[in-house]
Structure 1
Amino acid sequence: MNQQAKIYVAGHTGMVGQAIVRRLRSEGYENLVLATRAELDLTDQRSVRDFVMTERPQYVVDSAARVGGIKANMSHPADFLYENLQIQNNLIWSAKEAGVQTFLFLGSSCIYPRACPQPMKEEYLMTGRPEPTNEAYSYAKIAGMKLCEYIYAEFGMNFISCMPTNIYGENDNFDPETSHVIPSLLRRIHQAKATGCSEVTIWGTGSSRREFLYVDDLADAVVWLLFNYKKKQFLNVGTGEDVSILELAEHIGKVVGYEGQFSFDRTKPDGMPRKLLDVTRLHELGWSHRTGLDEGLRRTYDWFLTNLVPPS
């Protein structure tokens, strides 16, 4: 790869986008096109088209999205569907019109049906209805992935997609209203330890199982795919390993040094019973993750303590 190639990373201020930018720069790619939300409204079709046509990047990574946990998805389904459709349609079609060499769309493992066989293979997509608690986000991501596939088939352009599992790490969103499970649990368990609380209550039964990939590992996979993958078939990106929510809480408790108990509010939803990706295709291409869950949690907690906890 020519290290002077112009690469546009959409959503570069988010957790995933920041990690992708770090990874690109670590490999010597400095000709990066970046724009904050204040500089470019990705829901504005004309603005996005003008930006992409002016910059003419050779490569585009779409890591921009409205994201959130179960609570946020359930509270704002219309917003999640509308904003994500607008963002991805504007970026994908503008890139197609500008003749971008490779466009990489980041989806989500929530695209798979709620009752999907486990682990979830790429061919299981759209074999059933998605999990109701993230249905709107799921439909948006399926639409983006399909649009890339159709552009690949109709126009012969390398518009490709990958479907990451649950991502966590530094620069994650720790907001109590919109955070995903790891930052939510980490913040609450830290607060319980700091205040001497003997119990932390968690949504659901604790039995649902989830797979987690450290954000820098995702960034490594994204950069590898961007420069090496040239097939229409989207690829799962994950670890191929999962834990129950109770086991996750116990892992986080050990990292934080919390010695209290965990209880569960069974009136709250679990989401999908299990969500584990089959990553056989990606492993066969030669890529696999490097960061184990405990190591990733320690790094995330260190970042949380450094950046979000006021000095005592």
Structure 2
Amino acid sequence: MNWNGTRVLVTGGAGQIGSHLVARLASYGAIVTVADNLWRGKKSNLFDDDGKPVIDLSRNFFELDLTDPVNCQRATEGQDVVYHLADVVAGINYVFGNQFSLFNANLLIDSNMLKASIANGVRSYVYVGTACSYPAERQSKLNPPLFKEADVYPASPESSYGWSKLMGEMSCELAMKEKLLDIGVLRFHNVYGPHCEMSPEKSQVIPSLIRKALRHPQEEFVVWGSGKQRRAFVFVQDVVDALEAVLLKGMNQGAIQIGPDYSTSIKEIAECVRSISGKQIDIRYDTTKPEGDVDRAADWSKARDIL
């Protein structure tokens, strides 16, 4: 695809995944616009290693609340491609402590963005879902079968976050069936890498453990749960590769999950972070805290065959 001059909107473009996607597309000559409310994203993520902005921040960055449909109409106007990455999510404590508000915010964001994209004649729309949408009971023991995309049904996600993102996928499926625009759907497993959110309130497991190691002993190195829970971690540049590829090869083909076919325990991650830190750190496992799903990993054959 010739990206040169293509007008691309990336919602959540100042976040971990979005900022890497923005830099990639801008390097190809795309005219990239970012819409982000900066709740977790940071403008500093949109600067390269030499301290130069990767886009024209004065013209192509909009700090917007996408729960407002007027803002979504404004952001999508004149765009050829929309990558919709924006949502409300954080660490497990936030997700389970704010289930109602999180669910409703994500429903509004996803509905507003899709309707605005259709109304403004966007040619291609890419939606990002989550492996958190898989049924809780199928992730309740170690070494479950690898998840295929269809295994998301019968639906019973553990959290309202998983439910909200599944509803976003469903909206995309309906719009795709009615041929309202070309739609690609990617379902990400646990993404890690540079530009991750590190704050105590909003960080997820890997950046949270890195922060605790850096601050130790001022901050105790505590792992929520037993540490036996496992996740399929995928590097941020790999998901950016998928975001680029889906537009070329994966449109209108339903959800495609992105993640490895093996999982890693949180205990292994904690011990790795401790080792790299070079500090003498005692790991404390707080089993009074929620640890989420027990185990999951991806059967990524659909991604292999299509992307």
Task: Report the TM-score when normalising by structure 1.
Answer: 0.83
**Unmatched segments (≥5 aa) in structure 1:** 287-312
Please give the secondary structure, in 2, of the residue aligned with 1:261. Answer: coil
CA distance in 1, matches of 2:205, 2:182: 34
Q: Deviations over 1:127-173 (max 9, x none)?
A: 24212xxx111111011111111111012531121001111221111
Establish whether residue 114 from structure 1 lines up as the match of residue 140 from structure 2: no
Counterpart pick for 1:246 among 263, 267, 271 = 267
Deviation at 1:64, TM superposition (A): 0.7
Please give the secondary structure, in 2, of the residue aligned with 1:231. Answer: coil
CA distance in 2, matches of 1:177, 1:158: 37
- The answer to whether the Cα contact below 8 Å between 1:60 and 1:103 also exists between their aligned partners in 2 is yes
CA distance in 1, matches of 2:205, 2:245: 27
- The answer to whether the Cα contact below 8 Å between 2:36 and 2:86 also exists between their aligned partners in 1 is no
CA distance in 1, matches of 2:206, 2:63: 30
Establish whether residue 126 from structure 1 lines up as the match of residue 153 from structure 2: yes
Alignment of 1:149-228 (within 5 A): 149-155=173-179, 157-192=181-216, 200-228=221-249
Residue 283 of structure 1 corresponds to 304
Q: Deviations over 1:234-267 (max 9, x none)?
A: 0001122211111111111222223333231111
Residue 64 of structure 1 corresponds to 86
Residue 301 of structure 1 corresponds to none
Structure with bigger helix share is: 1
Establish whether residue 232 from structure 1 lines up as the match of residue 216 from structure 2: no
CA distance in 2, matches of 1:264, 1:34: 39
CA distance in 1, matches of 2:11, 2:265: 33
Q: Deviations over 1:260-290 (max 9, x none)?
A: 332311111221010212211112235xxxx
Task: Report the TM-score when normalising by structure 2.
Answer: 0.85
CA distance in 2, matches of 1:239, 1:281: 12
Letter in 2 for 1:178: K
Residue 299 of structure 1 corresponds to none
Tell me whether 30-39 or 206-215 shows the greater mean CA deviation.
30-39
What number of residue pairs does the alignment pair up? Answer: 277
Letter in 1 for 2:26: R
Establish whether residue 44 from structure 1 lines up as the match of residue 44 from structure 2: no
Letter in 2 for 1:238: G
Deviation at 1:35, TM superposition (A): 3.3
Q: How has the CA–CA distance of structure 1 residues 177 and 41 changed in structure 2, closer, same or farther, with 3 Å as cutoff? A: closer
Residue 145 of structure 1 corresponds to 169
CA distance in 2, matches of 1:191, 1:51: 39
How large is the RMSD of aligned CA atoms in angstroms?
1.8
**Unmatched segments (≥5 aa) in structure 2:** 38-61, 139-143
Report % sequence identity: 29
CA distance in 2, matches of 1:60, 1:223: 12
Residue 50 of structure 2 corresponds to none
Residue 32 of structure 1 corresponds to 32
Letter in 2 for 1:17: G
Please give the secondary structure, in 1, of the residue aligned with 2:127. Answer: strand
Q: How has the CA–CA distance of structure 1 residues 255 and 25 changed in structure 2, closer, same or farther, with 3 Å as cutoff? A: farther
Deviation at 1:30, TM superposition (A): 2.9
Establish whether residue 82 from structure 1 lines up as the match of residue 82 from structure 2: no
Letter in 2 for 1:138: G
- The answer to whether the Cα contact below 8 Å between 2:118 and 2:180 also exists between their aligned partners in 1 is no
Displaced runs of 4+ in structure 1, greater than 6 A? none
